Structure 1
Amino acid sequence: MIRRPSIPRPEDFTGPAHSAPVAARLGLWLGVAFGLCFLTGLLSHAIQHPPGWFGWPSRPVNLYRITQGVHVLSGIAAIPLLLAKLWSVYPRLFARPPLRRPGRLVGHGLERVSILVLVCAAFFELVTGVFNVAQAYPWRFFFPAAHHAVGWLAAGALLVHVGVKLPLIRTALATRIGRDPVPGRRAFLRTAAGSTGVAVLGAAGVTVPWLRHVSALSWRSATGPQGVPVNRTASAAGIAVPADWRLEVVWAGGRRGFELADLAVLPQRTGRLPIACVEGWSATADWTGVPVADLLAAAGAPTDRPVRVGSLEEAGLYSRSVLPALHVADPLTLLALRVNGEVLHPDHGFPCRIIAPSRPGVLQTKWVTRLEVLD
C-alpha cells in the first residue's frame, strides 16, 4: 500500500534559521535596506521627472552621487538579506489556515496576500535593478516607469505585512538570541550579515573611489575615453557634427548664435565635478567650459529662468533636458568644452556638453546645439 506523503508542518522544521527571533532580525535589516533603496529611488525619479513642487539643490556637488550610490548599494545589500529571510520563514508557508476561527482567517489571508505581493515585487525590483546596473534589458517595458511603479507596490505590501505581524515582531525582537536554547542561530545571522557585507564591498567601488581597488564588481569606474566612462557613444547616437555647427541661444524676444571659436574666447572656468549615472557608477573629472549663466548673459538672455537644452541627437529619451533655474545660476554649471585638460572626445559630447553639479548623468546632455530660456 502506497502511503501519501504528509504535508509538513512548521514545527517539523527545527533548523537554527527557522525561528521567529532570527526572522524578525533579518526582517529588520531587510526593512532598512528596502527603506533606503525606496527613498533614494523616489529622489532619483523626482530629479529626472520633477513635479512642480519639487526642487533639488546644486550643492554639495556630490549629493546625487551619494544618494544614487546609496540606492544601488542598498539594493545590492537587500539581495542576500532577502534570500536569508525567505529561507528563515519558508516553513510558515505550510501553516494551515485557521478555518474554525473566521476572525483569524481574515488576518491569515491578508498576510498571505501581502507576502505574495511583497516577494514578487521585491524580486522584480532587485532582479531588474541588477540588469539595469549591467545595462542589459531583456524585456520590452520601459524600465524607469515599471521600476518606480513596482517600488510603490513593494512598499505598500511591506507596510501591510509589518502591520499584520507587528505583535509577533515585537515579541521576537525582544528575545535575546544569545539565550536561545537552540544553537546555530547567531551563526546564521552572522553568515547573513557577512554575505551582505561582502556583496556591498564587492560593488561599492562603483561610487566610492577609494574602494575601487578592492571591489571586484566596480564596473565602469575608470574606463572610457579621457578616463571617464561612457554610456552612449557618438556612434550609437548617430552623431555627425556639421562643419557649420553653431550653438543657438534662444529666449523670448531674441536669439544669438555662437561658433566654437566664440565659445573658446569667452571666460572659462574649471570645476572638479562628478558624472553620477543612474546605474550607480560615478567618476570625477576636471571639466572646463563657460558657466551657463555667463553664456546667457553674454548673449543678452535672462539668467534667472530654467533652460531647455537641445542636442544634435535627434532621437532618444534623454536627447533633451531642462536645467532648473537654481542650477542655471550656479557658476559650476558649465557648457563644457574640455575634460581633464583635453578637448572633449566625441563620446563625451564634442563640441560641447552640459556638466552641472548634483545632477544625474542622463541629464548632463551631450552634443549640445541649442539653449532655450523658458518663461
Structure 2
Amino acid sequence: MRPSSLRPPPLRPPSFSGRLHDARTATAVGRWLGAAFVVCFVTGLISHYLQHPPSWAADSLPARPIWGYRLSQGLHVGTGLAAIVLLLVKLWTVYPRLFTWPPVRGVRHALERLSVAVLVASAVLEVFTGLLNVVEWYPWPFGFIQTHFALAWVVIGSIMLHLAVKAPDIRAHWSRRSPGTRELPAADGPDRRALLLGAGAAIGVVTLATVGQSLTPLKRLDLLAPRHPDIGPMGLPVNRTAAAAGITAEALADWRLEVIGPNPYHLTLDQLRALPHASARLPIACVEGWSVEARWGGVRIADLLARAGAPPGAGLRVTSLETGGAYRVMEMGRDYAEDPLTLLALELHGEVLSADHGYPARIIAPNRPGVLQTKWVTRLEVL
C-alpha cells in the first residue's frame, strides 16, 4: 500500500444537502421552536408585569382567576425547558451553514448572517440563564430579571427578522407537498421522522420529569424538578428562609402590626388573632416554576384597611421585617387589596405559621407571584 493512500482526506466544508442538515428539517424543527418561544415570551410578559407593574397599570391587574399566575408561570418554565431541547436540535440541523465559503457574499448576506448571530446568541443565553434561574444559581454579575426581560425582546425581535428574511425558504419547505422539498433525497424521510420523534420524546421526558412541581397530580414523576411540592417546612417549599432574611427571635419578641391610614393603629399578635377569622384555599406559585395549593387562615386585608379608614379603591404598601431583599417592600393595587381572598395569613393548614413561612404574619393573595406574597409583615400602609 502506498504511503499516500494512508493520508487523511482533505478537509471539506460540511454539505447542507440531505442527511437531515437540510432546509426541510430545519423548518420542521423551527415551527415548534418558534411556538415555544412565543409562549415563553407571552407568559414571561405576564410574569414580569405582575411583579413590576407600571404605575398606570398597578390598579388594573386582576386578582382572578386565582390560578392564573400558577398556570402562566408553569407554562413559561415548561415551554422554556422544551425550548432548550428544540434549540439544540435546531442548531444541529443548521450548523453546516457556519462553514459556508466565502463567509460573506455581499451586504445583504452579511446582514443576514449578523441577524442570525444575534438570534443564536440571545436565544442560547436566554434559555440557559432561565434554566439556571429555575435552580436558583446565578454565576454572573448582572441582574437576572432585568437581563432576562431585555433579552426576551431581543430574541423575539430577532425571530421576526429571521422569519422575514427566510420567508421564501420557509414557505418552500413548510410541508412535504411544498415544491422546494422535491430536491431532497427521499431516503432522508424516515431519518427525519426519527429525529423529530426523538426530539418529541426528549421533550416529553423532560416535561414529565419536571411538570409535577406545578401540576401536583404528577408530583411523583418530578425527578428532575428542583422543588417538590410536598417537601419543605409545614409540607410546602420555601425559597427564602427566615435565617436568610435575617429574621431573629429577638426581632419577633416585641412584634406588632402597624397599619398606616386615615385612622392609624397598632395590633399585637393576640389582638390580630382576636379579629374576625377568614380562610382561603389558594395556590402559592413561584417564578422558578413550582406551585402548590394550600389552606390559609388569617384576617382579610380589606377588613384591616377598612378599620384604618381607607377609602374605596385604595391600594396597599406592605413592609416586611426582613433586613434586605428586592421585595422587602411590596405594593398591591385595589383589585388585590379589596379581594375577600387576600389575607394577612397567620395559619397554614390550621397551624401557626412557621418562621420560614413568614411567622407571625404574611400576605397571601390570589393570582400573584410568590415573591409578592410578602412574609414577616410588620407594616401595612394605605395608598
Residues 1:223 and 2:228 are matched in the alignment: no
Partner of 2:370: 361
Residues 1:200 and 2:211 are matched in the alignment: no
Deviation at 1:298, TM superposition (A): 2.6
CA distance in 1, matches of 2:208, 2:255: 46
CA distance in 1, matches of 2:275, 2:312: 17
CA distance in 1, matches of 2:177, 2:192: 11
Partner of 1:41: 44
Candidates 81, 88, 113, aligned match of 1:76: 81
Residues 1:245 and 2:255 are matched in the alignment: yes
CA distance in 1, matches of 2:284, 2:27: 39
Partner of 1:260: 269
**What is the alpha-carbon root mean square deviation over aligned residues?**
2.0
Candidates 32, 35, 41, aligned match of 1:32: 35
Report if aligned partners of 1:37, 1:70 keep a CA contact under 8 Å in 2: yes
Deviation at 1:190, TM superposition (A): 1.0
CA distance in 2, matches of 1:99, 1:243: 70
Deviation at 1:313, TM superposition (A): 0.8
CA distance in 2, matches of 1:67, 1:242: 36
Deviation at 1:9, TM superposition (A): 4.8
Report if aligned partners of 1:212, 1:218 keep a CA contact under 8 Å in 2: no
Deviation at 1:112, TM superposition (A): 0.9
Partner of 2:166: 165
Structure 1 unaligned residues grouped into runs of 5+ = none
CA distance in 2, matches of 1:113, 1:159: 14
Report if aligned partners of 2:263, 2:308 keep a CA contact under 8 Å in 1: no
Partner of 2:139: 138
Deviation at 1:6, TM superposition (A): 4.2
Partner of 2:197: 190
Cα–Cα, structure 1 residues 243 and 170, in superposed 2: closer, same or farther, change >3 Å?
A: same
Partner of 1:150: 151
> Residues 292-331 of structure 1 correspond to what in structure 2 (within 5 A)?
292-331=301-340
CA distance in 2, matches of 1:314, 1:302: 31
Report if aligned partners of 1:205, 1:217 keep a CA contact under 8 Å in 2: no
Deviation at 1:360, TM superposition (A): 0.4
Residues 1:284 and 2:293 are matched in the alignment: yes
CA distance in 2, matches of 1:211, 1:108: 48
**1:77-115 Cα distance to aligned partner (Å, 9 max, x none):** 001101111111111222335977xxxx33322221111
Deviation at 1:5, TM superposition (A): 3.5
TM-score by length of 2: 0.91
Deviation at 1:7, TM superposition (A): 3.9
Report if aligned partners of 1:97, 1:108 keep a CA contact under 8 Å in 2: no
CA distance in 1, matches of 2:217, 2:310: 42
CA distance in 2, matches of 1:40, 1:298: 37
**1:48-84 Cα distance to aligned partner (Å, 9 max, x none):** 1111343321111110000001110110000110111
> Residues 324-339 of structure 1 correspond to what in structure 2 (within 5 A)?
324-339=333-348
CA distance in 2, matches of 1:288, 1:338: 5
Deviation at 1:20, TM superposition (A): 1.3
TM-score by length of 1: 0.93
Report if aligned partners of 1:290, 1:336 keep a CA contact under 8 Å in 2: yes
CA distance in 2, matches of 1:106, 1:160: 16
Deviation at 1:315, TM superposition (A): 1.1
Structure 2 unaligned residues grouped into runs of 5+ = none
**1:248-305 Cα distance to aligned partner (Å, 9 max, x none):** 1102x43111111111111111111111000101111100011100111233333521
CA distance in 2, matches of 1:310, 1:52: 19
CA distance in 2, matches of 1:163, 1:335: 51
Deviation at 1:4, TM superposition (A): 9.2
Deviation at 1:242, TM superposition (A): 3.4
